[in-house]
Chain A
Amino acid sequence: MGKTLFDKVWDSHVIEKIKDGPDVLFIDKHFIHEVTSPVAFVGLKNRNLKVMYPQKTYATADHNTPTINQHLPIKDRLSAIQVKTLEKNCNEHGINFWGLGHKKNGIVHVIGPENGITQPGLTIVCGDSHTSTHGAFGAIAFGIGTSEVEMVLACQTIMQQKPMKMKINVEGKLSANVTPKDVAIYIISKLSSSGATGYFVEYAGSVFKDMSMEGRMTVCNLSIEMGARGGMIAPDEKTYNYIEGREYAPKDAEWMKAVNYWTTLMTDKDAIFDKEYNFKAENIEPMITYGTNPGMAIPISKSIPKANKSESKLSYKKALDYMEFSEGDKMIGKKIDYVFLGSCTNGRIEDFRTFASVIKGRKKSNTVDAWLVPGSHKVLKSIKDEGILDILIESGFKLREPGCSACLAMNDDKIPKGKYAVSTTNRNFEGRQGPGARTLLASPLVAAVTAITGEITDPRDII
């Protein structure tokens, strides 16, 4: 029987299979950040252990960091200590550290790919669930807990049971103004926020073939929101072109060798998945969420549906009460207070280009606060170099400095209680963007048109 892409990468990293237990899996690349790593380092210290392969770990400060005046000391005392602790731990163990102000600093899932660290066929982990982003390159990438961060630091391995395999096919051509974010939210709305739990997903079909690397990252990023451990897409010419020439990419003879190997990384024709879904591109519209998990999403032109049977009535009501929405409400025209462009889902240069293309020649609504946060310093630099910053300023927008920002509201960027935010991020959980904040997930296009009109707007009506 043939192997899937996932099998090929996973099996080639198994050091040992434990009977009725997990596989011991070798990890090629490990990313850490200030929030989920400190306790792992304490663990190492308590056991008197060293980091086994410090050069395979890369550290950035992103979750906790301010997005204004980054050159000044961090005001929040606890955040400052956490970032300092990361730096100290990295120095002590010889780990690559890209702290605040470093030109390679940024959100962990943005900087991996843009520096060429993320490559096909690798196993990549990080104490962060959206590590699934890196799967866009044909790597197996997933989030781990802090105990596992400690394992990777100590032994460059983790112990996990091999997940089941799911294939999601989307064939056809996307309509105008339907973006990769819409494709991902559409899939989650069909499968629910737990529909892929226990599985590792491979995305296949013409829609993903035609998609840019940035778009593929957005899709793989959101895999975790339907419960999947991760998602991946077979590497192709686009993947190689993206990686080639980046700082950590293989060079010369190594490059040839790598590409030769990468071309073998595809699912065999006779391989079998545990589950398969097929969707048509033509059925996908611009999407938006109305509830408190990413599965509670609908096409933007539709009204809020009745509770379906997979969701208990009580939980459904709790979600709508939190949002202060009712069954049957139309989404279009709802007043919005905040627009957030950024995060590891939609904080890459392509997202800023999209946003800028819409707002160019138009003005920001006076009733909306817009927070635009680049995913990294490299993205920030491109925004300036490409003239996007001028377009933003011209239309009344301001740009912040890179970081996770209001995606999880660990720093000062919190959406105030009761306010509505159209956000390009990945989670609309209660309080995710600040205590009492109400999040509606959507694409950068929807974010842009909403920032102009001050209410939920269908991009197809404006563009």
Chain B
Amino acid sequence: MAYDKFKILKSTAVPLNIDNVDTDQIIPARFLKATERKRFGDNLFRDWRYSSDNSLIKSFPLNNKKYNGKILVAGKNFGCGSSREHAVWAIYDYGFRAVVSSFFADIFKNNCLNIGVLPVQITESFLSEVFIEIDRNSRNMFEINLKNQEFKITSSSIKERFKISTYKKSNMSNGFDDIDYLINKKDQISAFANKLKY
């Protein structure tokens, strides 16, 4: 499915300073029953946002009015656990376009890149700086420049480069996905299938 083209994202950020946030927290299994990709954002971090009686948990950053924006900043090893792409759909549908962390789980990172959420991996020390910056002033802006592969704290202009393959970068900036690429390869694929060992 085509998604929004990603060029430069300037936004405030929402902090989630917890390590090892797993996909069961991002979206609990009981909300995976849909057969279409709709309204997953409603249940993003469901059990951290709402108590069992559905009242808002005020202390959770997503419920704190002072935090908003299109960038989620999270502790290390974000997205570990299951392969559910629903986790990234929930993040996207909620309104985030990028997740910043010092370390991402593998499948989660792939899923992000496949649907147009940019995973921005920065060093642990820079990540702590970013958390401090948001803490200091939640209106602080951050800038993600995909072309230059840079993540910047705009108030101080301190920035760090992040990695992304040339292929994925071009996909992200054009809103393409892998199927758009693979569809033109079908002859090559079937020729390959025919000469497999067994």
Which A residues fall within an 8 A CB radius of B?
A: 12, 15-16, 18-22, 24, 26, 28, 35-36, 38-39, 42-43, 46-47, 49, 52-53, 63-64, 76, 78-79, 81-82, 85, 121, 127-129, 131, 142-148, 150-151, 154-161, 163, 193-194, 197-198, 227, 229, 250, 254, 257-258, 261, 293, 311-312, 314-315, 318, 408-410, 417, 427, 429-432, 435-436
Contacts and interface: CB of A to CB of B under 8 A. Distances in A.
A410 B29 contact: yes
A298 B186 CA distance: 50
B34 A257 contact: no
B136 interface: no
Contacts of B188: 15-16
B52 A417 contact: yes
A366 B197 CA distance: 56
Given A52-B186, A155-B182, A314-B18, A21 B80 contact: no
B185 A155 contact: yes
A46 B165 CA distance: 28
Contacts of B52: 417, 435-436
Given A43-B179, A194-B76, 18 more contacts: A20-B165, A21-B165, A38-B36, A42-B36, A46-B1, A52-B189, A129-B81, A148-B110, A155-B189, A159-B178, A159-B181, A193-B80, A194-B80, A197-B104, A315-B18, A410-B29, A431-B25, A435-B47
Given A197-B105, A408-B29, A85 B35 contact: yes
B182 A315 contact: no
A429 B81 contact: yes
A156 B107 contact: no
A20 B167 contact: yes
A395 B76 CA distance: 46
Interface string B167-198: 11000000001110111011011101100111
Contacts of B20: 193-194, 293, 311, 315
Contacts of A156: 189, 193
Contacts of B24: 408, 427, 429-432
B29 A315 contact: no
Given A409-B30, A410-B32, A145 B198 contact: no
Given A145-B107, A145-B110, A250 B198 contact: yes
21 contacts: A15-B185, A38-B35, A39-B34, A39-B85, A43-B179, A47-B179, A76-B33, A79-B33, A82-B35, A121-B197, A142-B107, A144-B107, A151-B179, A157-B182, A193-B20, A194-B77, A197-B77, A197-B105, A198-B106, A408-B82, A410-B33
Contacts of B34: 38-39, 78, 82
Nearest to A404: B29
Contacts of B115: 147
Interface in B19-46: 19-20, 22, 24-25, 28-30, 32-37
B111 interface: yes
B88 A145 contact: yes
Contacts of B123: none
